[in-house]
Structure 1
Amino acid sequence: MKTNIKYLFCMLAGLSLSSCDNYLDKVPIDQIGAEQFFNNGVNAQSAVTGAYRTLESSYYYGQAFILIPEFAAGHIRHYLSFPEFLEYTENRIRVDNPWSLNIWTASYTTINATNNIIERVPGIETDITEELRQQLIGEAKFIRALVYFNLVRSWGDVPLVLTPTQSSETAGLRVSRQPAANVYAQVIADLQDAATSLPEAYSTPEQSKGRATSWAAKALLAKVYLYQEDYAQAAQLAEEVIESGRFSLESDYSTIWVNENSNEAIFELQFNEQATNALVGVSNPVGATQFYASDLAYRLFEPTDRRRNFAINTVVDNGDTTFYIGKYRNVSPPTQNVPVLRLAELYLIHAEATARAAGSVSTAAYQSYKAVRDRAGLTTPAVATFTTVARFVEAIQQEKRLEMIFEAETWYDYVRTGLAQEELMQVPNANFYLFPIPQGERDLNPNLTQNAGY
């Protein structure tokens, strides 16, 4: 049964990723259709589990979607300085860069999986309650919103596909790009639905691991509103999550990664021995190391910052110092979870959004900023030293860079605030804020226009 479900989901998602390759070689692709699969609640739940799994692909949070924004931020280097990675650091990305295509394809694979769930679960009549039906649809909408949010942050206008297809390739569908505003509107609508239909927690802690909740939907929605400059909404939702009592800042920063599903985790992807984390095996001192922390990443931290010696795994051998990516150390086996949403980020969202909404650095905004620095063992300048909101926002971005290094956030945040040109980009040109639309997709789909600058 497990093998059949694995195949069925791979087929429904249009999956061409490594987790399903071997099995797809052995089973005819037309053996069963989506209509036959979505015929009971058990299969529907399996489909949702599969949708979560697609996020763990090596082309997505399992490697590529962590690495590429971190290369763009200058935090990572490759051991052979491959051009395909350097292009992101140096802001000269080729339109045929394979990593752009990998992330794009993985994104639409996941979207197609969620579209199948959203469209077909309402028609299931066997082994499903109305509560479960709404929950599964809510989980699918959360996942779809997360992926579209990452797409619109990376490429701006993108195809907005909301119905299931036979393939994950948007090129084959001849779909035009939709304005970013339309994509954001869909993301917000999906998250609002998810926040309403999902539970605050599932029946047991074990069942809650790795699953979207109403709190996860609200946390992501707060982040989306921040990007949309709806600061009042962002502040309100971030405050709701912080004050919910469901989550708390870990006193020891390393606990977030050393222990799975920490008190700080709002939404965390679950890797295991059957679904390993591809990034772990290529970023640690043991194994075939390909990706290292850059010298710049190490220098960003003050010597007294408690985060530095965990986030940057420093190894000295025969007088030579090597910096490794420190947050993904569970290498034997490589089952390191990936926190996608955690409480410290919500504190920093609250700090920025509250200050921007009020037009001043209030005590509430300052305290949220200070809470993150307190955990890091840093002294925070008095609130009076932040004489403008702009100065306070810049300080928050610098803090978020340290707090969330190697979590694929710095590049997008610095683009959002305009700081990328000042601090990250070797070619300070706003045309390069967005990645190029993959040329392989454009060759197949003449309706896909290219971003400016490429």
Structure 2
Amino acid sequence: MYRRLLSSLLAAVVLTALFTGCDSFLQKSPQGELTSENFFRNGEDAQRALNSVYDYAQARSFDFFPPYPMIFGSIASDNATKGGESGSDQISVQRVEQFNPRPTDPYITSTWNTMYTGIYRANLVIANVPDIESMSASQREQIVGEAKFLRAYFHFYALKMYGLGNDRANDGPGIPLITEPLPASDADVPRTSEAEVWAQIETDLQDAATAMGPTAPDLGRATEGAAKALRVEAHVFQEEWSDAQTLAREIIDSGRYSLDPDYSRVFDQRGEFGPGSVFEINHVDLSSALEGTVGTIYQNSRDTWGYGFNCPTQALYDAFEANDPRRDATIIESGETITGPEGNTETVEVVGACAANGPDGYLNEKMWLPAARQPSGPRKGPTNRRVIRYAHVLLWHAEAANENGDPQAALESLNKVRARARDDDDDPSNDPDGVLPDITTANQSELRDIIWHEQRVEFAMEYQRFFNLVRQGRTDLMADDGFQEGVNERFPIPQEQLDQGTALDQNPGYE
């Protein structure tokens, strides 16, 4: 919890190598506990402190809760149902799905605590690293830049969860904006307006992009491109279309990213940190530490070694165009035989609550692992989380360009994504049997709907659908599940946070 951790000791973590000849950004178990007052002495301390910030970006639960992005970005939307053994399995997740979450629910609380613990640790780095004289100026700037990126990342997610308004006027209730490592006695912080939070996110990401290079010192660490891309998303959420289009075009023109020709490979371990990876959170199955994700075991079939949560809906299945290869790479149908990257095949049955979803029931193939690669423990799933892909940048650019009355620029970026999906190397003449033909309409309203649809199928089951529906003003698509306008755009502030002070008030509808 944020307030409790303000007076706790700073956990120290270190870098290690995952593959021979390929450094990967990982965390090991704490190598000792040191107070912030005696910790920041040299470059090694600074790096270990930064690693502890990344530790909270992993979104793995220290209490073995399901990962919060899966719950709020996917299960809360029309793309997925809860699944599990039965309807009562993980009842608080079911309440999120049915839009009646409680302020005392563990996932509401753990998400808040994760965001604000990450912010606290980032603030420690930002406040202390500039004073370490034994480091070079460039080393200090790099580490502080990464910490500012992560502080913006945590504030951004917390704002989407707890503080956005009901429209894009930036007049939502906001969230606590914390930019210094406050002592425990000062942790009762009131909300800052939505507009002011956005402004701080913008400032942090501008600073981060200036400080960080185009490539990361280690895989899994943020880069200049990641900071710019997160700024693009922030502009899109605020409908600042001119800024979004300009900045997205800057990323596209940099030539640093490209679309992996094989869509399905992107989500396998073979595709980790591939050419289209802008920001990716690393997970690994280590026998000595909990650096994996619980998302793997939660989303694999109950027929094998998983728990069968986060099941694609029939509506999502039907949303894919005819013969779109992305559907087969995204959704497992019951009884489907899948060939793993090692060439072994496995027939996957859908059992439990997922089996009641649609005619056959479905599972999320983007998190599937064959039995031969079952993790060594429940919290050790090796699947990385692709937070920002180059396809995001292209479709944000398409959306912004369309809103700016620039349909040709919008079509160029949109059709690049569709061309990769049909695997024709961007050559429309190789279009196989009319699969995913290029879009040609210049009608703004029609093109808007097409771009939104493309975002849905391209990023299906990647934990973003709910927040996109909210920002697009299309929450009516969730009305049949109980969504209430003016209430469910936000989730409740955790009750334990309200109980510890008087500065915060509850979000409307959850009092």
Normalised by the length of structure 1, the TM-score is: 0.87
Distance 2:139 2:417 in 1: 37
Secondary structure at 1:341 match in 2: strand
How far apart are residue 426 of structure 1 and its match?
A: 3.2
- Paired letter, 1:345: H
The Cα RMSD (Å) is 2.8
Aligned to 1:284: 300
Secondary structure at 1:383 match in 2: coil
Aligned to 1:161: 178
The yes-or-no answer on 1:298 pairing with 2:317 is yes
How far apart are residue 284 of structure 1 and its match?
A: 1.0
How far apart are residue 343 of structure 1 and its match?
A: 0.4
- Paired letter, 2:320: F
- Paired letter, 1:161: I
Q: Matched residues, percent identical?
A: 29
Aligned to 2:456: 401
- Paired letter, 1:410: R
How far apart are residue 452 of structure 1 and its match?
A: 1.6
How far apart are residue 267 of structure 1 and its match?
A: 0.9
| Alignment CA distance shift 1:290-1:139 (3 Å) | same
Segment drifting more, 223-232 vs 311-320: 311-320
How far apart are residue 431 of structure 1 and its match?
A: 2.4
Q: 1:218 aligns with which of 203, 207, 228?
A: 228
- Paired letter, 2:364: I
How far apart are residue 166 of structure 1 and its match?
A: 5.2
- Paired letter, 1:379: L
Secondary structure at 2:386 match in 1: strand
How far apart are residue 115 of structure 1 and its match?
A: 0.4
The yes-or-no answer on 1:418 pairing with 2:473 is yes
Q: 1:344 aligns with which of 391, 405, 410?
A: 391
Secondary structure at 1:430 match in 2: coil
Q: Residues 59 and 69 of structure 2 are in contact (CA less than 8 Å); yes or no, is this contact kept in structure 1?
A: no
Secondary structure at 1:431 match in 2: coil
How far apart are residue 227 of structure 1 and its match?
A: 1.1
- Paired letter, 1:183: V
Secondary structure at 1:133 match in 2: helix
Aligned to 2:36: 34
Q: 1:149 aligns with which of 156, 176, 180?
A: 156
How far apart are residue 85 of structure 1 and its match?
A: 1.4
Aligned to 1:263: 275
How far apart are residue 241 of structure 1 and its match?
A: 1.1
Q: 1:332 aligns with which of 374, 377, 381?
A: 374
Q: Provide, for residues 239-296 of structure 1, a one-character-per-residue CA deviation record: whole Å limited to 9, x for no partner.
A: 1111211110111111211121111101111111231111102211231314141333
1:115-154 to structure 2, matched below 5 A, reads 115-126=123-134, 128-154=135-161
Aligned to 2:214: 200
- Paired letter, 1:328: M
- Paired letter, 2:491: F
Q: Which has the higher helix share?
A: 1
Distance 2:312 2:398 in 1: 29
Normalised by the length of structure 2, the TM-score is: 0.77
Q: Provide, for residues 324-348 of structure 1, a one-character-per-residue CA deviation record: whole Å limited to 9, x for no partner.
A: 1111234533211111111001111
Secondary structure at 1:36 match in 2: coil
Segment drifting more, 315-324 vs 94-103: 315-324
Aligned to 1:103: 111
Which structure 1 residue ranges, 5 or more long, are not aligned?
Answer: 1-8
Secondary structure at 2:10 match in 1: helix
Q: 1:177 aligns with which of 171, 191, 210?
A: 191
Q: Residues 312 and 331 of structure 2 are in contact (CA less than 8 Å); yes or no, is this contact kept in structure 1?
A: no
- Paired letter, 1:270: N
Distance 1:53 1:23 in 2: 11
Aligned to 2:70: 66
- Paired letter, 2:117: T
Aligned to 1:4: none
Secondary structure at 1:34 match in 2: coil
Aligned residues: 426
Which structure 2 residue ranges, 5 or more long, are not aligned?
Answer: 1-6, 14-25, 164-173, 336-348, 376-380, 423-434
- Paired letter, 1:51: V
Aligned to 1:5: none
How far apart are residue 172 of structure 1 and its match?
A: 7.5
Distance 1:10 1:440 in 2: 18
Q: Residues 87 and 93 of structure 1 are in contact (CA less than 8 Å); yes or no, is this contact kept in structure 2?
A: yes
Secondary structure at 1:353 match in 2: helix
Q: 2:81 aligns with which of 71, 76, 85?
A: 76
Distance 2:59 2:398 in 1: 33
